[in-house]
A and B are shown apart, each in its own frame.
Chain A
Amino acid sequence: MSEASVGKPMLPVAGKPPAGPRVSDGSNIFLTTKLDRLIDQARKNSLWPFPFGTACCAIEFMSTIMSHYDMSRFGAEVVRFSPRQSDLLIVAGTVTDKMAPVMVRIWEQMAEPKYVISMGACACTGGFYRAYHVVQGIDEFIPVDVYVPGCPPTPEALLQGLLRLQEMIAAGETHYQRMVAAARAKAKGAVS
């Protein structure tokens, strides 16, 4: 079968897929770098996930937060179903074209800083559903920080993805942090 042809009469995406997180221009940021690092440490160890669980991966996500794997050991146990209260979007499961606007809206509603883990083959690339109703990877719509392969990934794989994200936050490599850094550099350049 050929690559899913997202070709001919395709309609533009809901409200245009955003290129990255919206951030302030950076001119009002006055914190020193060391303090930023400290805040990143705090952030990485208290990620509040929003489980956007749609399919099989949601069951494995459930396993991850249950007592056997216990995600709270990594500071991420406060599973919030309100995008306003969470900073980590875990997309667990297939996202269909019908679901995509919902996902985009939830992502837009999340307060910054926000990170995205794409869990499982379907969310990452569409998996083996090269089909007429399945989004071929959620990065068509939102920026993804960590991709966790597997169908569904084992809880350990998800936890490793979480640790990877924590490392990225500490090193300032997430999409959000790079956007902030870029905005800051731009603001600095404008001042000098």
Chain B
Amino acid sequence: MLKLHNLTRVYQTDDVETLALNNVNIEIKKGEFVAIMGPSGCGKSTLLNTIGMLDSPTEGQYIFAGEHVEGYSEKQLSEIRKKNIGFIFQNFNLIDELTVHENIEMALIYHKIPAAERKARVEKVMDKVGIAHRAKHMPSQLSGGQQQRVAVARAVVGDQALILADEPTGNLDSAHGQEVMEMLQSLNDEGTTIIMVTHSPAHADYARRTINLFDGHVVTEDVRAA
């Protein structure tokens, strides 16, 4: 599905150069569930953002679905991202002014999908994540777990093949965290590729493969038998 080759990302501030990713080589196949772990500041989020095309590598190659995307313009990246990648954030990042339904629908609006179809798809995905009864509520009226389920629904409503989750359980208590992980698990079972950054070893266990990062390097890769 995607391949990173000798990927390097350097952050440049006024007079400090930070090496966030250093010669990273990763290949992720379709249908995998990969967890990325590592201490704070090791480059997990940078890696995830780079994979999500929200950040560009300084050096190296990034091959997504057979295409070299490292030189692509923002517009081209946005097109690929829109069609293929869904995001889930630790802090949910729902829009406070929109209802649950509208939040999920927003992803489809930018896919230029007609209104009737949008409605059907949003309802279907709300059923799937179990928040259909909350469709007209505002995010502030929901619990954290419910909010994250809305975010998951939003991430997959456009039939994205790849889900990038940045500590999706970080703001949730264990029961709600478990709930979200099970939902990701079932998405993966249906064929969605998932890459997840997490601090929790228990939640990393849901993944088939765990990539450990330290100071921008891939330190180890643990693969569990299915």
A and B physically associate: no
Residues of B whose CB lies within 8 Å of any CB of A are: none
Residues of A whose CB lies within 8 Å of any CB of B are: none
